[in-house]
Structure 1
Amino acid sequence: MRLWSLHPKYLDARGLVALWRETLLAKHVLEGRTAGYRNHPQLNRFKGLQRPVAAINAYLTTVYEEALRRGYRFDQTKIGRASSAIRIKVQEGQLNYEFQHLLKKLMTRDPEKFTQLQSTADIEANRLFDVIAGGIEAWEVV
């Protein structure tokens, strides 16, 4: 499971579809509707919030909007009630780590997308995230 801090515009088609599926799984975990993945480190930043399900729904909304922009037809009814006021902090080092991780995946999976992104200087976070100074997050498995 990978819940990217990066803006979903950076993901290739396969990555965006995987993010949708994995975020829906994360939503089920946070709602207590599945026994698996309960202790997955990617969920820690959502679990620590006052309204974790509303936060994951807000995250799903950002993924859905990117899918719409690309002409994909994800099922919006799978997104529950979200709050536009939710903000999540992410350290700059985490954002950089994720971008490099994505580039490694794209090198083999989508060389054209890799070429488009490899010289990106300013990495944009998902709009839910406020980028702060710091390294790789403690919950990240390096």
Structure 2
Amino acid sequence: MRLWSLHPSYLDSIGLVALWREGLLARKVLLGQTKGYTHHPQLIRFRETENPIQTIDAYLKAVHDEATQRGYHFNLQKIVPPEQVPLLPLPDKQLEHEFRHLLNKLQKRAPQKYDLLLLQTTAILPHPLFQIFHGNISPWEKLI
């Protein structure tokens, strides 16, 4: 399960579809509807919120928005987008770590997207659910 902290616009089509599917799986785990992945480290930051389901739904809504902008048809009825949820803290070093990790994937899988990101990225944007602070990589994030 990979729940990127990066803005979904950085993902290629394969990555965006995978993020939607894995986000829906994370939602099921948080709802107690699966037996697997219950202790997955990527879920810690959602579980620690006041309302994990609203938080994962807010996360998925941003993924849905990016997919819609690209002309994809993700089923919005699979989530209940909240009006607003508090932003989650994200260390800047984590964002940089994930960006490098994504670039490594894209270099092989989507070279054009890789080249585009290298040329056009001056500041790395987080997923809209996150607020950046100066800090190191979170222990549960190292798995990305």
Instruction: Place the TM-score, normalised by the shorter chain, in its bin.
Output: over 0.9
Q: CA deviation at 1:87?
A: 1.1
Unaligned runs of 5+ in 2: none
Residue number in structure 2 paired with 1:62? 62
Q: Does 1:141 align with 2:142?
A: yes
In the alignment of these two chains, the number of paired residues is 142
Residue number in structure 2 paired with 1:126? 127
Does structure 1 retain, via aligned residues, the 8 Å contact 2:6–2:127? Answer: yes
Residue number in structure 2 paired with 1:103? 103
Q: Per-residue displacement from partner, 1:24-61 (whole Å, max 9, x unpaired)?
A: 00000000110100111111100111100100000010
Aligned structure 1 segments of 4 or more residues deviating by more than 4 angstroms: none
Structure-1 separation of matches of 2:80 and 2:86: 14
Residue number in structure 2 paired with 1:89? 89
Structure-2 separation of matches of 1:131 and 1:87: 10
Which residue type is aligned with residue 127 of structure 1?
P
Structure-2 separation of matches of 1:100 and 1:39: 26
Q: CA RMSD in A?
A: 1.1
Unaligned runs of 5+ in 1: none
Structure-2 separation of matches of 1:71 and 1:96: 28
Structure-1 separation of matches of 2:142 and 2:46: 16
Percent sequence identity over matched residues?
A: 49
Partner SS for 1:42 = helix
Does structure 2 retain, via aligned residues, the 8 Å contact 1:54–1:83? Answer: no
Which residue type is aligned with residue 138 of structure 1?
P
Which residue type is aligned with residue 109 of structure 1?
R
Does structure 2 retain, via aligned residues, the 8 Å contact 1:58–1:86? Answer: no
Structure-2 separation of matches of 1:118 and 1:135: 23
Q: CA deviation at 1:81?
A: 4.5
TM-score (norm: length of structure 2): 0.95
TM-score (norm: length of structure 1): 0.96
